[in-house]
Chains A and B, each alone.
Chain A
Amino acid sequence: MGGMREPKLQESRLSSIWRHARLYYWYLRANWLSLWAYPVPFIMMNVAGIVYALGSVAAVWALFSKIHAIGDWTLPEVMLIYGLSIFSRSLFHLFWIELMNTSAMVKAGDIDRLLVRPLNPMYQLVAGYLDNDDWGELLTAVALVWTSLGMLGHRTVANVFWCLLASVSGSLIFASIHAVCNGMAFFTVETGGFSQLAWTTDEFSRYPADIYGKGVRALITWVIPVAFASFYPAQVILGEGRLRLIGLLSPVAAILSFAFAYWFWGKAMDKYQGVGN
């Protein structure tokens, strides 16, 4: 089976992208409706999710009840960075979680199913499922970003839109990291550890990136670019000069890292052999 090759339809790249985008609406609609099939457990789970997210935010709050700054950063600034971090993370979690299923699908031979359909395989994998248990974290993230913008006196329409764009681009960065880690399934079959590692990387995006030493900072900027999911985009609002400029480039960083991850996933999938029958 060839990797991510499109079927030989007489179709331009542009109309193929359009077809995928239109279909995504239907995927989303079906997924969203299925979340509400059992409304009470769904709501309970996500109310608990808000409490869960607030539990870790409370650690930052408790810390700031005793100090006034972490490095050079005050409470609203840290809240904005933290908020953008969990905003990006929850968007990734809700919309891209099926990447984590790659290993299970390789084991069961279910990748065959993706390859015979006339749609991009990674797209089918990701679009096929919308997660049910992280909407509480998303709401908490929105509240954190909104409140911190207000406390900073920077709650402008432009900044709100920038935070939205930054979180979508941040979720793309997490998607890239998880796509590479889970794409390892095509080589190693079992990826539990890699997947766990991918989940650990987002911890680096929760606090201001400049509290880390040079080595760690270079790592989270250039290799595992999680700093572009929270710290750099926040600099568009908080920072000035060069740092602000780097912040504005966050969506570019996201697109580049996703392009690499997508290429890697495709290459890895070329190694897929099926399980026979």
Chain B
Amino acid sequence: MKYLMYARSEFIRGFRYRANYWATVISAVALAVIQWYLWHAAYTDKDLIAGLSLDQVLAYTLIGRVAAGFLTAPTAALRIGSRVRTGAIVHDMVKPVDLHTQLLWQGLGRAGFSFVATGLPLLLAMAALGVLEIPSPGRLLLFLISLLMAYVTVFSTSFLSGVFTFYTKTAVGVDYVYTVVSLLSGEFLPLEFFPAWLRTAADYLPFKSMHYIPMAIWSGIAGPGEVVPSLISQCLWTLGMVAVSKMAWSGALKSLTVQGG
């Protein structure tokens, strides 16, 4: 399948930068260390905060650090705005592939590299040290499915942001306020910590599919009865985001003006 080749070549591309590699690993470890100490300090004189135990929150945030590279927004790599500005978009359009699908698979290759190269070693190290417990095979499988859908939502958000700049012709897109997306996705802390009104808002938005759902499945924050419903809602959001991306993209193509030639 031709799109798989895109993913493969991006995956292999990751291996080019070796000095970068170690620095990335150290960064990932450092961020995990910060989370570990921060949550221990927050739980100094408490057993439960917002109904969650220290172990649950640690599992949630540490597996979040493991997945962080995999779920990094590919905003810069998409370069939709600059493809339009420079006119390079023309070359994308003459190829017998769908640009949206191509970028999705390329991004998956990059994300996959990041997961194998930094996420997995971090996960194994933490599991070996007993800091992070690996869940039962069933939950692990559901986590992986959920993580893949999370990637598609992350990608779609960046893609839609890119298409948005296509219409507005400004550089300011979602990536300029990405911390808000991260906050609402649960990347900074589990949604349970939010005040009620913010929690409600987060529940109605697609962003929790980007982080909260897979991490809640891994950490057991999502109880046995909640796993399947949250996977279904994540699945619906994922399909919805892909559909909206495709529609926005074909709409944008119709109004495309390439400057110069």
| Cross-chain contact A196 with B37 (CB below 8 angstroms) | no
Q: For window 11-68 of chain B, which residues contact chain A by CB distance below 8 Å? A: 17, 19-24, 26-27, 30-31, 33-34, 37-38, 40-42, 44, 46, 49-50
Stretch from B175-183, B209-217, B251-259 at the A interface = B175-183
Minimum CB–CB distance from B184 to chain A (whole Å) comes to 9
Q: Does A207 touch B at the CB level, under 8 Å?
A: yes
- Complex interface residues of chain B between 175 and 197 (CB less than 8 A to chain A): 176-180, 182-183, 188-189, 193-195
* A174 in contact (CB, < 8 A): no
Please, which residue of chain B has its CB at the minimum distance from the CB of A216?
Answer: B33
Size class of the contact patch on chain A: 35 or more
Cβ of B141 within 8 Å of any chain A Cβ, yes or no, is: no
- Within the assembled complex, what's the spacing in Å between the Cα atoms of A225 and B213? 37
Min Cβ gap B118→A in Å is: 11
Task: Determine whether the beta carbon of A193 is less than 8 Å from that of B24.
Answer: yes
Tell me if B125 counts as interface (CB < 8 A to partner A): no
Instruction: Judge if A10 is at the interface, Cβ distance under 8 Å.
Output: no
Q: Check A114 for interface membership: any CB of B closer than 8 A.
A: no
Q: Contact check, A211 vs B17: say whether CB atoms are below 8 A apart.
A: no
Partner of A203, one of B30, B49, B193, B195: B30
Tell me, in angstroms, the Cα distance from A17 to B79 when the chains sit together.
Answer: 43
| Minimum CB distance partner of B16 in chain A | A190
Say whether A194 contacts B177, CB under 8 Å.
Answer: no
User: From B20, which residue of chain A is reached at the shortest CB distance?
Assistant: A193
The reply on A228 being an interface residue by CB < 8 A is: no
Which of B21, B33, B49 is close to A193, meaning CB atoms less than 8 Å apart? B21
Beta-carbon contacts of A194-220 to B below 8 Å, as 1s and 0s?
101100110110011001110010000
CB-CB under 8 A for A196 and B179, given A41-B171, A59-B189, A71-B41 = no
User: For B194, what are the chain A residues with a Cβ–Cβ distance below 8 Å?
Assistant: 62, 65
In the complex formed, the residue of B with least CB distance to A71 is: B41
Please measure, in the bound complex, the distance between the C-alpha atom of A7 and the C-alpha atom of B42, giving whole angstroms: 56
* A203 adjacent to B34 (CB under 8 Å): yes
Is B170 an interface residue when CB atoms closer than 8 A count as contact? yes
Which of chain B's residues have a CB closer than 8 A to the CB of A252? Answer: none
- Contacting residue for B176 out of A48, A65, A190, A201, CB 8 A: A48
> Interface range on chain B: under 10, 10 to 19, 20 to 34, or 35 or more?
35 or more
Q: When A62-B195, A190-B17, A211-B41 are in contact, do A196 and B24 touch as well, CB less than 8 Å?
A: yes
A55 touches B182 (CB 8 A): yes
Whether a CB of chain A sits under 8 angstroms from the CB of B116 is no
Per the 8 Å Cβ criterion, residues 57-112 of A in contact with B are: 58-59, 62-63, 65-67, 69-71
Q: Which residue of A lies closest to B25 (CB)?
A: A193
Number of cross-chain contacts by CB at 8 Å: 111
Which residues of chain B are within 8 angstroms of A45 by Cβ–Cβ distance?
171-172, 176
In the complex formed, the residue of B with least CB distance to A201 is B30
Partner of B50, one of A41, A58, A66, A207: A66
A194–B195 alpha-carbon span in the complex (Å): 38
The yes or no answer to B198 lying at the interface (CB within 8 A) is yes
Known: A55-B182, A62-B194. A197 touches B41 (CB 8 A): no
A197-B21 Cα distance, complex, nearest whole Å: 11
Q: Are B30 and A204 in contact (CB under 8 A)?
A: yes
Other-chain residue from B21, B27, B183 in contact with A58 (beta carbon distance below 8 A)? B183
Once the chains bind, are B27 and A197 in contact (CB under 8 Å)? Answer: yes
Indicate which residue in B21, B34, B50, B176 contacts A204 across the interface (CB closer than 8 Å). Answer: B34
Instruction: Check B176–A70 contact: CB distance below 8 A.
Output: no
CB-based contact A190/B179 at 8 Å:
no
B residues near A70, Cβ cutoff 8 Å: 38, 41-42
CA distance A62 to B30 in the complex (A): 23
Asked whether B27 lies within 8 Å of A62 as measured between CB atoms, the reply is: no
- Please name the residue on chain A nearest to B33 by beta carbon: A216
**Pairwise interchain contact A66-B19, C-beta atoms closer than 8 A:** no
CB distance from B121 to the nearest CB of A (A): 15
Give CA–CA (A56, B178) in the complex, Å: 10
Which residue of A is nearest B184, CB measured? A55
B20-A192 in contact (CB<8A): yes
Please give the distance in Å from B219's CB to the nearest CB on chain A.
17
Q: Give the chain A neighbours of B26 by CB distance below 8 A.
A: 197, 200
Partner of B34, one of A56, A66, A190, A207: A207
Top 4 closest A-B pairs, CB basis?
A55-B179, A193-B23, A193-B20, A59-B188
A binding-site residues for B, Cβ under 8 Å: 41, 44-45, 48-49, 51-56, 58-59, 62-63, 65-67, 69-71, 188, 190-194, 196-197, 200-201, 203-204, 207-208, 211-213, 216
Known: A48-B176, A51-B179, A194-B19. 5 other contacts (CB 8 A): A49-B176, A56-B179, A65-B195, A191-B19, A203-B30
Q: CB within 8 Å of A: which residues of B? A: 17, 19-24, 26-27, 30-31, 33-34, 37-38, 40-42, 44, 46, 49-50, 170-172, 176-180, 182-183, 188-189, 193-195, 198
* Sample of 11 A–B contacts (CB below 8 Å): A55-B180, A56-B182, A56-B188, A59-B183, A62-B188, A62-B194, A65-B194, A66-B50, A190-B20, A193-B22, A203-B30
